[in-house]
Structure 1
């Protein structure tokens, strides 16, 4: 391994690649004397040059002026520099329209935009061609305030990354209503650098956490959510860690589909992207989560990001629709109530819509509306090829929902009302159990006619 401070090899200076300073508002006000500090991460890991299998997603270094307040929109100057001796370790690439490059130096001009719009910068650093895993370099950043005062920050960059992957268990099917389900929490490091300290998060949707671990925090108002930190945990490249005991959740007695979400990240890297996990909350009173080495307890699918495991009850839901006939001469206005009822025993969640197709020649003059702002309304149902498609929302067993239309009758004819499950969400895993829909045991009552009798 070589470091920028000590390495003296004779490799010719390599081309500096420049990526980025991208600017936007953070919404954090400054104090009257301007920002007092420039925040930057202490360490930033670089994917090895030419490696396409490292951390996914946004890997930018985020720089944030902190404290104080700037008024007006005078331009400010932010710079990024590769420190001397680090040129063969780290490179930058710039694409900001207000940025210029001179050798290993990037300078960007950005307007603060007032007290409520301080600047934030994102710098994308890359491993320089010819660098090796373990090489260390440094970047220096400066922020020049409107009064000329210069704030500085320094980030150590290391070639090679810790890459945390979560083991996603297979879906848990046909669970008895109200039962407790246990799921493993397995983390592995597929990167080139060790994980130094681990943060994990898990949430249980609408299910209750059957156990609250003593070394985890449970934020107030989020009773199905936990964040745990293991600052002394080290996960070597290629190593797998199992957190024990397993996560235990108590499923609903009626909600047919739910899911457990698990996430993990190196503490010195953070959860990445725009994610932010709360630090506060009550401490649990159950057995602590303990990291242990060894093979995972079950067959798992490993991936970065959130691991979502679907949980499904051994229930189905019988939906039915009801609508009356329309009597009257052509041109007569009539009220039409269309009702959807869930006879249970299961609740599939908000997964279905009602589709009302008026009889030919019958005109809808009033339709269901929803309030989008104070005294401001818009149609609730979507218009689709002469039909009205209305989201049913969540409908617990034994509950019903009625949609009211006013229609102007035409000549006698037949229309219809039917139920339609929502299309699949492409972001859902292919084995997501909610894709099964209502599993209606009696589909014959999912459609009814609406007839204009004259």
Structure 2
């Protein structure tokens, strides 16, 4: 429901680490090794899976603050009895096979940024639900050994949310009620679910007691976590009561979204605002449900909303006086008489009077100190994007011309090409003022 919501949320991703500290007047962080406590593996040959899963993350430091890129050793071992479930994948200067790998690493190591890498993958012949354990050992320059273990599970929960493509003819300021329906199409159960609701340009008419509403988005974003919620493969749950949203009174086009993820998998690309007070409404709770026909979207998606209103745009006549060759600067003005805010849908088409030559036009900075014409020009016609224009607002475009013989040009407002089925442009109910003239006379 992505208007596409800072820091990756890794709730439920247990981290195993060993840390020691050196005391003294200027203490430095002690040696440490950090690996996921549990990590889910994609079954062999299956590339489908959750769209936002946090990749396997392994990091280590020897606590010296050094920047050496070598001189330390990282080893990974598949423990006995785990070989049928998990194997090792290596890259960079790592050596070894499917059950034992050794890598030369530095004083500060992170497999997300450093090329020597080793990570668990599903073993050939493994099946969803199989589990195994991988032990990682980091040896510092002084010979100290730190260990961490990761429980690897073959198969992943894959969460999808029920969405609606779009809603049209919604009354300005009306209240909408939308269900939250989630299903697991993965190979293994999900234990713990994260949910983020985004109201876009709308607002929550009711705030759940077990969800956070982070500042400054407290009327527009809710973050909810259900650490005890289990959804077996193929099962569906409905979260009740349904979300209540209050539509905007002016924004003609907006959206709301549901983002869902398994807490144990974390979020890689999605960012979740921190903090926020709990709501004062009812508690959002899950109950078993059935899976209606879609559209279902992996990880959640957007529902677009179009209000039953319009935006009356207008342009004004312009008169330029002077003998041929006279230099004149003038402004073309577009205004929105409302009542709706249609966003950036309109374009101004400017056809100068014959014989009038433009010597200066609106410019935009596309790089530091580098400018280019803002309006497109072709066949002596200028087309300018008006951009967002709130009710009562105006947008002006300043041109300078050398006048020609007396004559007449025109100004015309057009909507851009619809971006989707729900995009109806301005729905201008007074198209007569979409056209104006620009005249040149003595």
User: Shorter chain as normaliser: what TM range?
Assistant: 0.7 to 0.9
Alignment of 1:80-159 (within 5 A): 81-85=76-80, 86-94=82-90, 98-104=92-98, 105=101, 107=103, 125-141=120-136, 151-159=146-154
Q: Determine which of 338, 341, 364 is the counterpart of 2:335.
A: 341
Q: How big is the shift at 1:129?
A: 2.0
In structure 2, relative to structure 1, the CA distance for the partners of 1:357 and 1:203 (3 Å cut) is same
Aligned position for 1:212: 207
Aligned position for 1:313: 307
In the alignment, the residues of structure 1 paired with residue 140 and residue 361 of structure 2 have an alpha-carbon distance, to the nearest angstrom, of 57
Q: How big is the shift at 1:275?
A: 2.0
Is 1:183 the counterpart of 2:171? The answer is no
In structure 2, relative to structure 1, the CA distance for the partners of 1:326 and 1:78 (3 Å cut) is farther
In the alignment, the residues of structure 2 paired with residue 288 and residue 134 of structure 1 have an alpha-carbon distance, to the nearest angstrom, of 33
Is 1:392 the counterpart of 2:386? The answer is yes
In structure 2, relative to structure 1, the CA distance for the partners of 1:365 and 1:267 (3 Å cut) is same
Q: Show structure 2 runs of 5+ residues with no match.
A: 1-25
Q: How big is the shift at 1:149?
A: 5.8
Aligned position for 1:239: 235
In structure 2, relative to structure 1, the CA distance for the partners of 1:78 and 1:438 (3 Å cut) is farther
Q: How big is the shift at 1:189?
A: 0.7
In structure 2, relative to structure 1, the CA distance for the partners of 1:338 and 1:50 (3 Å cut) is same
- Counterpart secondary structure, 1:233: strand
Q: TM-score, normalised by structure 1?
A: 0.77
Q: Relative contact order (C-alpha < 8 Å, sep 6+): which is higher?
A: 2
Q: How big is the shift at 1:285?
A: 0.7
Aligned position for 1:33: 28
Q: Per-residue displacement from partner, 1:50-90 (whole Å, max 9, x unpaired)?
A: 23443335662123458978465755767463514444323
Alignment of 1:405-416 (within 5 A): 405-410=399-404, 415-416=409-410
Question: Mean alpha-carbon deviation: is it higher for 319-328 or for 278-287?
Answer: 319-328
On the 8 A contact 1:323/1:336 being kept in 2, the answer is no
In the alignment, the residues of structure 1 paired with residue 323 and residue 243 of structure 2 have an alpha-carbon distance, to the nearest angstrom, of 64
Q: How big is the shift at 1:436?
A: 2.0
In structure 2, relative to structure 1, the CA distance for the partners of 1:121 and 1:162 (3 Å cut) is farther
Q: How big is the shift at 1:371?
A: 7.2
How well do the aligned residues superpose, as a CA RMSD in angstroms?
A: 3.6
Is 1:227 the counterpart of 2:227? The answer is no
In the alignment, the residues of structure 1 paired with residue 176 and residue 346 of structure 2 have an alpha-carbon distance, to the nearest angstrom, of 27
Aligned position for 2:374: 381
Q: How big is the shift at 1:239?
A: 1.0
Q: How big is the shift at 1:237?
A: 1.0
In structure 2, relative to structure 1, the CA distance for the partners of 1:377 and 1:69 (3 Å cut) is farther
Aligned position for 2:55: 60
Aligned position for 1:13: none
In structure 2, relative to structure 1, the CA distance for the partners of 1:59 and 1:277 (3 Å cut) is closer
Aligned position for 2:264: 268
On the 8 A contact 1:206/1:252 being kept in 2, the answer is yes
Aligned position for 2:347: 353
Q: How big is the shift at 1:157?
A: 1.4
Q: How big is the shift at 1:240?
A: 0.6
Aligned position for 1:404: 398
Q: TM-score, normalised by structure 2?
A: 0.79
